[in-house]
């Protein structure tokens, strides 16, 4: 399998498994990723996703330019999927939290996938970049539209217009990475974030992510008045009542996701 999926104890782990190709994404891998995201969306037991790349050299080096495709840049633009690179960079329908576990290079579409995740944990030797202009292409799958919305415009343009890679510590300083860890501690740090997320009510988390994704470009006063279905479902759920009961009774809540 070019992408591996395991689901255990409410955690879905998605691993791009092409280490010899720096986990670059070819058409088969893109199709497999899309199928996995749809499977996760349909699985109510999943409360958090961890996205990673096999091996220690690369999270994902972007599109596999050696996979035999003869598409021009314009062809690629015309055929681009609305969900973005790897089916995740621009996806709005996946409402459970997604953690990017970045060990090594996250370049081109790989960086765009990181931008589409909710929490980013990177090893100290991780590198991020959008080298598309160096090969006459453009970061069409989220890079040009997401990066300037996440960090200051001048900083974003510096990355976009130079094609240079930035370090994990620099990405953390810009706010693109939540935490940097030594490679030996990377999984422990990811597990710590998983534990934090699983302590929270799953419907509340989905409602928060849905609200942020749909209102982030609105004025705060307008966004505050939006009542999406997920928000209503979370606030009227049994879990909402359970959370209050558990707090009053000084015990851990037992979430049912309903």
Is 9 catalytic? The answer is no
Contact, 141 vs 83, CB < 8 A? no
Is 28 catalytic? The answer is no
Active-site pick, 8, 28, 112, 222: 112
Active-site pick, 9, 83, 132, 172: 132
Which amino acids are annotated catalytic? 112, 132
């Amino acid at each position: 399998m070019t992408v591996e999926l395991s689901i255990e104890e409410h955690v879905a782990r998605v691993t791009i498994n092409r280490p010899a190709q720096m986990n670059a994404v070819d058409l088969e891998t893109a199709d497999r990723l899309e199928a996995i995201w749809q499977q996760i969306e349909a699985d109510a037991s999943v409360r958090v996703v961890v996205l990673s790349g096999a091996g220690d050299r690369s999270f994902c080096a972007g599109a596999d330019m050696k996979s035999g495709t003869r598409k021009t840049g314009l062809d690629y633009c015309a055929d681009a999927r609305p969900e973005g690179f790897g089916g995740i960079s621009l996806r709005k329908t996946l409402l459970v939290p997604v953690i990017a576990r970045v060990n090594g290079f996250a370049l081109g579409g790989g960086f765009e996938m990181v931008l589409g995740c909710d929490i980013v944990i990177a090893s100290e030797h991780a590198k991020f970049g959008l080298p598309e202009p160096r090969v006459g292409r453009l970061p069409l799958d989220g890079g040009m539209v997401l990066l300037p919305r996440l960090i200051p415009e001048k900083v974003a343009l510096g990355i976009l217009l130079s094609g240079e890679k930035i370090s994990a510590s620099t990405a953390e300083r810009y706010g693109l990475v939540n935490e940097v860890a030594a490679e030996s501690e990377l999984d422990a740090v990811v597990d710590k974030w998983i534990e934090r997320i699983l302590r929270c009510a799953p419907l509340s988390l989905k409602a928060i992510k849905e609200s942020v994704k749909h209102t982030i470009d609105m004025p705060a006063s307008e966004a505050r008045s939006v009542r999406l279905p997920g928000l209503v479902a979370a606030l009227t759920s049994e879990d909402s009542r359970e959370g209050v009961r558990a707090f009053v009774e000084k015990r851990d809540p037992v979430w049912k996701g309903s």
